[in-house]
Structure 1
Amino acid sequence: MTPQVRRYIGLAALAATVAAVSSILLLAISGWFLTAAALAGAAGAATAYGFNYLIPSAMIRLLAILRTVSRYGERLWSHQAALFAMAGLRGRLFARLVAQDNRNAPDLSGGDASARLIGDIAALEDLIVRRPTLPASMIGAATGVIIAAFAGWQAAVVLLALLVMLPTILRKLGTRLTRTPARDAAEALGKLRDRYVEYAAARAEIIAYGLADRVTLELNGIAAELDRANAQLFRGEGVIAAVLTIYTGGTAALVLMSATASAPRVALALLASVSAIEAMTAWARTALRQARVEEGLRRLASLERLPAAPFAPSTRGSQALALTIGDESVAPGTRIAITGQSGSGKTLLLESLAGWRTSVFELSLGDRRVTDIPSATIRDQIALSPQDAPMIAGSIADNLRVARSGVDANAMWQALRIACLDQRILTAPEGLDTMLGEGGGILSGGELKRLSLARALLAERPWLLLDEPTEGLDSKTEALLIERLRAWLEESGTGLVLVSHRQAPLTLSERMLAIGVVPRRQLVFPANAMRPPAQQDGESE
């Protein structure tokens, strides 16, 4: 926890202590005052006239104000501590995730990651919120025991014994009633988030093929599992609340039976006892939520164990390294096309070169195999515009800035012009600040692909990897994009590794490497793999 979080927890603990003590004193003094006033009134007018009610009334009013203000402070500061702590935890865990090498990172779906970084961490928030109330509960309970002693030492001993036993009883009840449903609820919630993310991405296909009923049925089934688990948790909460109520009544009865003082002092002890049990409700909440918190901790443990190495951003101007694909060496600045039948693994080869996944090909960068190179080194060398262009939630400019830090608007417009997307963005409602909503917002699939190309150009890496860069374009736009891209490649000296089903983009390449489908997807380079593009017409796939 940061010093700021500790400071808020300390303030919340102080406020909670003041609230607990003032609450017990308020109830106890009120009981003594009402009982004493009733007895004074019953004794006659003279006695009632001599009864001093001003000081107790003032104390009761003061304690009521103090309790209200301190409870507000406790809730304010404890929630501030929780918000800061959870924000830091989410940021730290997300930083660990993004710093991992894609080739050996945990296999975590978007829905499951969301469930852990949102749902499981939210369960931990209760730890921070309740933390200040636990010591305050102990101090409040001790105050109740001291006040109960005014009715006799026996009453104080009885109350102390019952208060000591209460946390153990609540903890055992909470474990028994909530551990299994808490685990089931966490798993069901993660599964539900995962399915929602997957089906939301495929909603167009679901509608087109009439699969909505089947999808809804599956989601309802998972939601029913979550509801059943939550219902068990709520039943456990009801049982613990009932036990606490019965325990409070039994405590009051035992204290009354063991009291030996006058009626006003007995009333003082009774209400102090009830208030002391009430102060221990923080332990009841702890017992009820502990299983859910433990389950959240268990699911987050795999993320906490990830290496905490800081993310190394890509740097510009890195010395270009040669590529080796199979037995073929490709010098920096060379432009090559990867060809082969559908299913031969061309996209897989590009993604392996970019470090997106574990390679099944023989690939080297410089004098080292790609599988042995740190991901930071790969990022310094390679920019990939993939077949499916992933975008972040944000504006067009935000998505372009992903390429590298310090990208200005002029560089963005230049990259968009090469990608033949500048005129489209100029007509967008807010230009570069236009937000890309779910599914790409105002941009079509082809436009998103060209935005991905512009982002790859802005990265300014020695090697540019393009997977179907002109897919979905009309011939005129395709020709213009190829012309501008060719000029940029020649001017910058950037190397190119291209995959395309279409013939026009292949004219960008100087060499061709053909791969074939063989067991274990190992590379095959036919003897005629080095023919120029003009001789490869119709043979790219």
Structure 2
Amino acid sequence: MLRLAFLCALLAGISSILLLALSGWFLTAAAIAGAAGPVAAMAFNYLIPSAAIRALAIIRTVARYGERLLSHRGALGAMAALRGSLFGKLAAQDSRTAPDLSGGDASARLIGDIEALEDLVVRRPTRPASLIAAIFAVGLTFWAGWPAALALAAMLAVLPSLLGRAARRLTREPAAQAADALGELRTAYIDYAAARPDIIAYGLGERVTAQLLALAEPMDRARAALFRGEGLIAGLLVAYGCLAAAIVLALATSPAADVALGLLAATASVESMAAFARTAIRQASVEQGIARLSVLSALEGTPQKQAHVPVGAVPIALGDTEVAPGDRVAIAGRSGSGKTRILEALAGLRPPHHALRVDGVEAGACPPDMLRAQFALAPQDAVLIAGSIADNLRLARPGVTAGEMAEALRVTCLDMRIAAMTEGFDTPLSEAGGTLSGGERKRLSLARALLAGRPWLLLDEPTEGLDAATEAELVHRLGQWLDATGTGLILVSHRPAPLALAARSVEVEAIAVREG
């Protein structure tokens, strides 16, 4: 597709140069014929040149449209595949060792940095086409005389290097600053969006707005510097075109009509090099994008196709406490003692700081796929995606049916709430859970964990934010579900009601903390 775009760009460039050069020759020759008197004017054939000019204008328009269409189609397809590939690499990483990228930073890389590469791909066909068109223009300039043509060739030869040096000096540093500032700003936006209810409740809107404006200032300054650099480079190109025209005019030795042809061909040749100018202007942003994306492309591993394959439960050990498949254990301890950290370590989200073993292997040495196959985590802070309720539940595993979703929502006491919604399972949610309360978001996350069908269920404060009646019913239904499925349970809860689900408890202090 990019080859076709190149051919269209080449056709557009040559037809544009021919159009301008022929127009200059035609207008000058017509003026000379008219000045020579009626006989010369009548003898002048204006039909063929005017028809050629119209045809060239049509060809240029169609070729430019084809080049834009094909290059953008190729670029969009390539960038979509690249985004999918990089996101797949991120998703395949072991959370315990993956690069520490915030959501905003990852978003900036997968969106902004790839957009910079997209611009490079879009412009890729125009560079060689512009060079060939410029050489063609030099050939036309020979009509004005060979000294003029050689001077133009020399000027065009040094132009790409001149544009590159100017662009590096004017845009490299602002491009790096803009990329870094954008990542920080997106991170802040994501964090503040998640805290939107608290910001509204405590009247922090003005303070948050001021902080976001302060974060936006470095990006605005960097982008302003980039725009000034682009303006200076554009001005340099215009000045260079004027200089080329003046030199060609000064060195021209041919008749006036031929000089006009060569003069406008020279002007068009500099204009055709604008593709090099645009590439030079964007090069700094592209280099920054490539450098930032290299962190993602260097990641090892490929996305695994998720499959719901029944996996037998394996025993685990919390310190010296052996926990057999199907057992239910609560982890007790004061706030901040590391209970949540233990659940996240078992789920493979964080490196373990406690003595944890899974099937006799230290949790830190277990492959992430093994941990994912054993544990389903319902975290204290429910993480939802922007999509429907069904979309959030289907994340549990492929092939989840409506009946299974309905049963999971019944166990978590959300069935009546979802049934009362006009769109039911198709009700859209934002990342923050939309109209769902905090307790409802936690129960939706719990329903997703149940649907995962793992041998072990990890629950972190599952009834926080619930009233006593709903809490009691949830504990009752969840107990029945555990009995029916034989799923093992590791529970963390400060509230006494959920502790009835556990047959015993283990103090977090009894789970030996690793030294160092």
Q: TM-score, normalised by structure 2?
A: 0.97
Match for residue 504 of structure 2 among 490, 511, 516: 511
Q: Note the alpha carbon deviations across 1:394-438, whole angstroms, 9 max, x for none.
A: 111111111111100001111111111111111112111111125
Match in the other structure for 2:223: 230
Q: Note the alpha carbon deviations across 1:447-494, whole angstroms, 9 max, x for none.
A: 111111111111111101111112222222222222221221112111
Task: Report SS of the residue matched to 2:501.
Answer: coil
Match for residue 286 of structure 2 among 285, 293, 297: 293
Which letter does structure 2 place at the counterpart of 1:398? D
Distance 1:424 1:208 in 2: 24
Asked if 1:284 is matched to 2:300, the reply is no
Task: Report SS of the residue matched to 1:364.
Answer: strand
Asked if 1:256 is matched to 2:242, the reply is no
Match in the other structure for 1:486: 479
Match for residue 43 of structure 2 among 38, 41, 50: 50
Match for residue 72 of structure 1 among 50, 65, 68: 65
* Alpha carbons 1:341, 1:517 under 8 Å: kept: no
Match in the other structure for 1:191: 184
Match in the other structure for 1:529: none
* Alpha carbons 1:340, 1:346 under 8 Å: kept: yes
Match in the other structure for 2:316: 323
Task: Report SS of the residue matched to 2:432.
Answer: helix
Task: Report SS of the residue matched to 1:429.
Answer: coil
Match for residue 434 of structure 2 among 441, 445, 460: 441
Asked if 1:378 is matched to 2:384, the reply is no
* Alpha carbons 1:248, 1:274 under 8 Å: kept: yes
Moved over 4 A (4+): 520-523
1:28-427 maps to which residues of 2 (within 5 A)? 28-313=21-306, 315-427=308-420
Q: Greater shift after overlay, 169-178 or 225-234?
A: 225-234
Q: Greater shift after overlay, 91-100 or 306-315?
A: 306-315
Distance 1:63 1:517 in 2: 84
Which letter does structure 2 place at the counterpart of 1:348? R
Q: Is there any run of 5+ residues in structure 2 with no aligned partner, and where?
A: none
Distance 1:255 1:376 in 2: 70
Distance 2:325 2:281 in 1: 63
* Alpha carbons 1:339, 1:512 under 8 Å: kept: yes
Q: Is there any run of 5+ residues in structure 1 with no aligned partner, and where?
A: 1-6, 524-541
Distance 1:221 1:437 in 2: 27
CA displacement at 1:317 relative to structure 2: 1.2
Match in the other structure for 2:424: 431
* Alpha carbons 2:245, 2:266 under 8 Å: kept: yes
CA displacement at 1:211 relative to structure 2: 3.3
Distance 1:190 1:328 in 2: 44
Task: Report SS of the residue matched to 1:439.
Answer: coil
Distance 2:500 2:225 in 1: 65
Task: Report SS of the residue matched to 2:353.
Answer: coil
CA displacement at 1:370 relative to structure 2: 1.0
Q: Greater shift after overlay, 211-220 or 24-33?
A: 211-220
CA displacement at 1:171 relative to structure 2: 0.5
Which letter does structure 2 place at the counterpart of 1:31? G
Q: CA RMSD in A?
A: 1.5
Asked if 1:501 is matched to 2:494, the reply is yes
CA displacement at 1:442 relative to structure 2: 2.4
Q: Note the alpha carbon deviations across 1:159-198, whole angstroms, 9 max, x for none.
A: 1111101101000000011111111111111111111111
CA displacement at 1:251 relative to structure 2: 0.5
Distance 1:308 1:17 in 2: 41
Task: Report SS of the residue matched to 1:277.
Answer: helix
CA displacement at 1:522 relative to structure 2: 5.3
CA displacement at 1:322 relative to structure 2: 0.4
Distance 1:354 1:222 in 2: 35
Distance 1:275 1:478 in 2: 77
Distance 2:239 2:458 in 1: 71
CA displacement at 1:52 relative to structure 2: 0.9
* Alpha carbons 1:78, 1:129 under 8 Å: kept: yes
Which letter does structure 1 place at the counterpart of 2:154? A
Match in the other structure for 1:477: 470
Distance 2:309 2:143 in 1: 78
Distance 2:202 2:467 in 1: 28
Task: Report SS of the residue matched to 1:440.
Answer: coil
CA displacement at 1:207 relative to structure 2: 3.5
CA displacement at 1:266 relative to structure 2: 0.6
* Alpha carbons 1:344, 1:521 under 8 Å: kept: no
Task: Report SS of the residue matched to 2:506.
Answer: strand
* Alpha carbons 2:308, 2:398 under 8 Å: kept: no
* Alpha carbons 1:314, 1:380 under 8 Å: kept: no
Q: TM-score, normalised by structure 1?
A: 0.93
Task: Report SS of the residue matched to 1:175.
Answer: helix
* Alpha carbons 2:134, 2:270 under 8 Å: kept: yes
